[in-house]
Structure formats: C-alpha cells, structure tokens
Chains A and B, each alone.
Chain A
Amino acid sequence: MNFESLRAFFIHLRFICEKELLATFKDKTARQLLLAPVLLQGLLFGYGATYNLDQVPFAVLDMSHTKESTSLIAHIDGTTAFSRVKTLYSTNEIAGAMDSEDVMVVIVIPSDFESKLAHNEQAPVQLITDGCNTMTAGLVASYIGRITAAWNAENIGTPPIELITRTWFNPNQTTRWAFLPGLIGMISFTQVIMLAGLSIAKEKEQGTFDQLLVAPFSQLEILVGKALPPMLIGMFQSTVLFLLALFWFEIPFSGSVLLLYLTLFIFVLSSTGIGLTISAISNSMQQVLVYVFVLLLPLSLLSGIATPIHNMPEALQIFTYADPLRFATDALRRIYLEGAGLKNIYHDFIPMLCVAAITLPFAGWLFRNKTT
C-alpha cells in the first residue's frame, strides 16, 4: 500500500513536471527569452561591471617644465590605466577641462616643483578628480599615488618603509573576477522568481488552475511539480553563466563543482519558494510582476554583489538574512575564487534553507486554501 502510494506520487510528479516543462519550452519566444538574455547580460555585465581603471582620460598642466616634471608625467602616460586627452597651459583652463565630459582627472605640477625637490622638500603635485564619480575618483587618487611613489623611489631614493602588497584569490584585483561568480546567482535569481511567480498566476488567469485542482493531485504533488521546472531552468541558466565565466572570461575556478551545484540547488530552492509565495498571493500576472519588481531591486542591492555587506548599518544587515541572494553570492564567490570547502561555507546554507522551509510550505498551503 505504501509502495503503491509512493509509486502514484512519482507518476503524478512525472506528469506535472512534463507538462510544466512542455508548457514553458513549447513557445519559441519563451525559449529564446530563457537563454538569450542570460548570455547577453553575462557578457554585458562581464565587460561592463568594472572598477578597474582603463584608459581614464586625464589632462596635464605642467607649469614646471623641467626634466623632473616631464619624467613624472611620462610615468603616468606609460600606464594603460590612464590616457592623456588634453594638455593645458594655464590654470584658467582647468575649470573648462573638468566641465567638459571627456576629462576625468587633471594633474597640475606647480612651477616650483623642481626647486622644492632640489631642496629636499615636499614637492606637491595637485590632482583634481571628478567628484561626480566618487568610486573612480578614489581609485584614481590611489593609483596615481602609487605611480608617484614608484617614481620617487627611482629618482629620489627608496623611502624608509616599503609596503609589499599581495592580493589573495585575485592577484590583479580584477573586478570582473569578483563580479561574475556573484552574477551566476543573481541572474538566475531574477528568472527563477519571475518564472515561479508567474507559474500559478498564469494558470489562474487562463482558467487552467481549477482544472488542476479538480484532478486528484495532492498539495505536495502540485507544489513539487510547480517548483521543479523553475529550479531546473535556474540551474541551467547558472550553468550557462558558469561556463561563460570559465571559458569566455577565463576566470580560473578553484573550487569543487559538486559544492557549487549544491549551493546553487539550495539557492534556487529558496528563490522558488519566494516566487511561488508571490504567485499564490497574487490574482493576476500584473500583480506578480509588480511584486517581483518591488522585491527584486532591494534584494539585489542588499545582496552585497555591488557593495560590501559590512558597510551596511547593523539593522539592515539583520534584514539581509532574509535575502537568499546575499548568501548565495558569498558562497558562490568563495567556492569559485577561494576554492572554499563545505566547512567554510555551510553557514551560508542555513539562512537559505530557512527561507525555503518557510516559503515553500506556506505557498503550498496558500494554493489550496486561498484560491477560491
């Protein structure tokens, strides 16, 4: 008897999943919408999301006109991080250069530069950065500072202290390395919540949900049947991004593939729970879309993918525990770049599993009891 009911359960499950997958993939546009944007966004974000300096346009005002000043400028010109677009001749031109959009930094070398150097004094070099873009401005200042320090060491003599820096897991501090593994989670997050969210609302709007409720499916069967397809699609999209990161952007993978997929599984499970809950409380597809939108933006911002979590106020950090994307981002990055093992990241699983354990049964309960 028990075996029979188990068998019936799996037969039911098979048919629900088969139907869900067919209904999703039958439509050509839907198929395209599931693959193309993922690739497109992967490439766009991969190339676009960068804090690494590359060809930052700058202008120079050299009022010293000495061998020393020319040599310092040559050092800056020599890096690929900066590209000189203008040479200024008087201080009056600075404002104009900064106001035009194509100069981000102006380097001013005062006329007494050489004489101060000769007298063993500090010779200030003024750096004017564009404050509209604080992130870049800060990076520019620190980078030019490093170039100057190197120039000092070469021309004036090594300073008494040398800072030897080494960056673990990402030796060149490439933003993309940090960003793409996080993206593996974020892009499938959007799609999974959206798909799971629409799955029931769509059936309600098309009237097929009654048909499903009248069939002898149990609550659990409908729940699992509705949850599996978005999960599979989410895992598939994550795989696409993973391959993109690995082979297109050539970011070395240091972790275990098995652990990566375990993390992804737990992550899409919790995202599906959120999506299905949204679906069960909404009456129309439009409502789902609005709720998804209103949730997705804050959840993405709070995930730490673009800004570090520990910069957030304590109260907000507590709130991020409900955000599966936060923990997925952390775990994925660490598995990918650090090669972290289960013992290092298992604590990331707990909040995600809690979210799943609350949302999934809640959604299942809502299907039966709130759909009249």
Chain B
Amino acid sequence: MNDFSGFSRRLRALVYKEFLQLIRDNSSLLLGIALPLVLILLIGYGISLDVKNVPTAVVLEDPSPTAQDSVSFLTGSDYFNPRYVTSMKEAEILMEQRKADVILRIPPDFTEKLEHGEAKIQAILYGVETTTSMTVQGYLETGLASWLEARQGSTHGAVIVTRMWFNDANTSSWFFVPGLIMLIMTIVGVFLTAVVMAREWERGTFESLFVTPVQAAELILAKMIPYFCVAMAGMLLCLVAGHYLYGVPLRGSIILILAVSMLFLIVALGIGLVISALTKNQFNACQLALLVTFMPSVMISGFLFDMHSQPIVIQAVGQLFPTTYYLILLKSLFLSGNNFPLIIKNSLILVVYAVLFLGLAFHITRKRVEE
C-alpha cells in the first residue's frame, strides 16, 4: 500500500466532488463570478470618487466683461456645470432644492476692487457632501489663479506644481481595482469557504465521510482547491477587466501579482476554514465571516479610506487584518512596480498569517462529531 497514491486518489475524488457541487449549486458561482463582474462594471463605469460636473450657481452681481471673464473657466471645464442666476436668493433656493452644490458670487464692486488688487469672490459650498465640497474648493482656487495668470501675463510668488507619483491619470478606477480584487478574494476565500464547509457539518455529510480512510487534511485540501480556483478566476476577471477596460497599469510583474494573490488566498481560505470549524453552523459562520473580514476589509484596510488619516487606534486595528497588507501589495504592484523591500516585507507578514490560520484549521478540524 502506497500512502501517497492513496492520498492523491482520495484527494482527486474529493476535489472532483467539490467541483461537481460547485457547478450544480449556482449560488457559489453567483458569488464567485457574477458578483465580481457586476462590481467591476459598477466601479469602472458607475461610481467614482472623481468630482466632476459639479452643479454650480453663479451670481454675477457685477455685469462687467471682466467679471464675466473671471468665471469663464467654469464653462469650459469638465469639473463644473455652471448655471447663471440673477440673485443670491435664487441661488440659495437652487442649493436648497439640491440643484446646486456651489454658489459663486461675484460682488457688484468686483471690477472696481480688482484694479486695487482687493477683489473678493464669495463661494458657498454644500457641506453635506464633504468629498465634493473639499475638492471643489481646490478647483475654484486653481481656476481663479490661472485666470489671473492669463490676464496679467504672470503672477509672482510661490506656486505649487503637482506631480502624481504613480497614478498619472488620476482616476479613481485605478485606485479601486486593486481594492476590488482584494474584496472578491475575501468574499470567496473567507465567506464562501466558511459557509460551504459549515454546510457539511450542519447536514451531517461529514459523519459518513469520516468513517472512511479519508484524512482530515485531505478534506481540508479538497475544500480549498476548488474555491482557490473560483477566487483566482474572479481575480483574473477583475485584472483583465481593470487592465483592458480601464487601462489600469500593471507596472509590477504579473507573476508577482499572481503569487501574492495566491498567498493571500491561502490566508483567506485558512480563515474561512477556521470560522467553519468553530461554528459548524451556516448562519453563525456567515455572521462571523461578515464581522471579522468583510466590514474591516471595506472600512479600514485602505480600500475606501486612506489609513493615514485614521486615528491611531483604528490604524492599529487595521494592521491586524491581513487584507491591509494584501492591499498595499496590490496597489504597489499595479501602480508603482516591483518595489522589492515592500513586497518582501508584506509578503512575509502574509506568510505568517497563512501558516497561522492554516495550522489552526488543520489543528481544529478533527474527524470527530462531538459538539
């Protein structure tokens, strides 16, 4: 009797079984393939953090050509969608009806004061949407400055010349795609694995399997392999869509991207297996998976919000989640290239997590039915 041939034969049989189930139960594929597709399309074409076409109410109280010229930058720009009104009251009503996010008021004495270099322009921003209001303020300043520059030939004083280090296109889909890949990997790896494994416990299918020559390790590996494939398929889908539809650059090596993704996937699968072995119940497995992985990966891994801006405590909590390190790796590999010190450091952390969770999964998954 050859131990290894038995191992590989049983593993093959179990993996085949998992694949059959995967194909017949559409819910796994719905989560693994359909959801990533919907999300990548939504993120690419739909939602965007870029502030554009901001509805702007312009109150020109000074009818002079200079005053009109001073706000001409609004008209040609992608950023603003100006609407000229005659009184402040009218503008305020527009803001109240949510038809304007900005009110720009050119006072009656604008041209006159401009001669003396004392001109003032009033901007009222809609603070309920802070992202818009913060960005718009910058746009307005830049717009006015360049108008001044064009008018006077040149200005003097310090000016800021900004250069984006990696993301020259400055679009948020570039920023979102790595985050989305992280999200898909977490959902499939942790959530789906935890639920399908818990289902076997709940339905008692394990009891029959346990009393065969099957080893616990084979059961675990057989669960990991198919979901590994589903998650990698989801990830490649996002990768291809991100690269070809939205032109997200792949500045780092594609091999490295795949490698760190596989590494993270092992961590995620490990967490999923640990959760299912602890709960052995679909509902609780789902709640726990939601609580420990999904929420943190959206909120504090740096997917939506920059970690540097968060309080130390929250940052510290964020540092506990492997998703944070994977996101750093992905962003860096996508947008900046092979930065080896960073890759090695974060990969090592992920390796530690992988060993930890897989070890724990192997340790607590026993061929026993005791509650």
Contacts and interface: CB of A to CB of B under 8 A. Distances in A.
A44 B308 contact: no
A120 B156 contact: yes
Contact of B158 (A148, A158, A168, A289): A148
A176 to B, nearest CB: 9
A219 interface: no
B309 A50 contact: yes
Contact of B47 (A164, A166, A293, A302): A302
A138 B135 CA distance: 7
Given A178-B128, A297-B39, A298-B42, A135 B121 contact: no
Contacts of A115: none
A159 B144 CA distance: 11
B168 A131 contact: yes
A161 B70 contact: yes
B304 A49 contact: yes
Contacts of B161: 124-127
A338 B299 CA distance: 26
Contacts of B164: 128-131, 134, 137
Contacts of B55: 310
B127 A173 contact: yes
Nearest to A69: B158
A293 B187 contact: yes
A174 to B, nearest CB: 7
A133 interface: yes
A154 to B, nearest CB: 10
A41 B314 CA distance: 12
Contact of A129 (B165, B195, B283): B165
Q: Most chain-A Cβ atoms within 10 A of its Cβ — which of B38, B118, B138?
A: B138
B291 interface: yes
A128 B165 contact: yes
A149 to B, nearest CB: 7
A161 B121 contact: yes
A308 interface: yes
A293 B131 contact: no
Interface stretch (B15-23, B29-37, B215-223): B29-37
Interface string A301-313: 1100011101111
A146 B141 contact: yes
A55 interface: yes
Nearest to A147: B160
Given A49-B299, A173-B134, A290 B46 contact: no
Interface string A146-179: 1011011001111111111111111101110111
A156 B145 CA distance: 15
A56 B304 CA distance: 16
B25 to A, nearest CB: 9
Nearest to B286: A289
Given A56-B309, A101-B342, A169-B126, A130 B166 contact: yes
Interface stretch (B236-244, B330-338, B351-359): B330-338
B35 A52 contact: no
A41 B165 contact: no
B70 A135 contact: no
Contacts of A246: none
Contacts of B328: 101
A75 to B, nearest CB: 10
B122 A164 contact: yes
A161 B114 contact: yes
B154 A165 contact: no
Contact of B119 (A122, A123, A162, A287): A162
Interface string B313-357: 110011000000000100110011001011000000000000000
A117 B157 contact: yes
B308 A159 contact: no
A119 to B, nearest CB: 8
22 contacts: A29-B284, A44-B296, A52-B309, A57-B308, A100-B341, A123-B157, A124-B158, A128-B163, A129-B165, A133-B306, A135-B172, A138-B135, A139-B134, A142-B134, A142-B135, A160-B117, A161-B119, A167-B133, A178-B129, A293-B35, A307-B49, A310-B53
Given A53-B309, A100-B342, 10 more contacts: A29-B284, A51-B309, A132-B166, A159-B157, A160-B117, A170-B133, A175-B131, A286-B282, A297-B35, A337-B128
